[in-house]
Amino acid sequence: GIQVEQSPPDLILQEGANSTLRCNFSDSVNNLQWFHQNPWGQLINLFYIPSGTKQNGRLSATTVATERYSLLYISSSQTTDSGVYFCAVDTGNQFYFGTGTSLTVIP
């Protein structure tokens, strides 16, 4: 199956800092989503972004499908941004998740 790698695996930021999370995938995909998993395990949709760039408040994402990567930008981080961020790619038959980036934002 397709390989999905996320980096960095762990990230600690001071509140107010910016960060970039990366998702690499090993084959062409139909779609890509970014999720934030909260401490209770709920996966919250951040972006549905098969290609191009989208922005939502302090978060933005870019997917370059031809080069098989996606980036999630978090600006002016807040403590509520803490949690695990996952990218998931859709091959048409199933979704494959990366192993996630664990983000801790300290005040």
Partner 1 sequence: DTGVSQNPRHKITKRGQNVTFRCDPISEHNRLYWYRQTLGQGPEFLTYFQNEAQLEKSRLLSDRFSAERPKGSFSTLEIQRTEQGDSAMYLCASSFRGGTYNEQFFGPGTRLTVL
* Of the residues 15, 28, 48, 52, which one makes contact with partner 1 according to CB under 8 A: 48
Our finding on whether 100 is near partner 1 (CB under 8 A) is yes
Our finding on whether 24 is near partner 1 (CB under 8 A) is no
> Considering CB under 8 A, how many residues would be counted as binding partner 1?
23
- Binding window for partner 1 (CB under 8 A); candidates: 13-21, 43-51, 52-60, 65-73: 43-51
Q: What is the DSSP string of 20-76?
A: EEEEEESS--SEEEEEEE-TT--EEEEEE-SSEEEEETTEEEEEEGGGTEEEEEE-S
CB-CB contact of 71 with 21 (8 Å) = yes
Our finding on whether 73 is near partner 1 (CB under 8 A) is no
Best CA proximity match to 57, nearest among 34, 37, 82, 77: 77
Our finding on whether 93 is near partner 1 (CB under 8 A) is yes
* Of the residues 18, 30, 76, 78, which one makes contact with partner 1 according to CB under 8 A: 30
- Binding window for partner 1 (CB under 8 A); candidates: 11-19, 30-38, 58-66, 72-80: 30-38
CB-CB contact of 36 with 57 (8 Å) = no
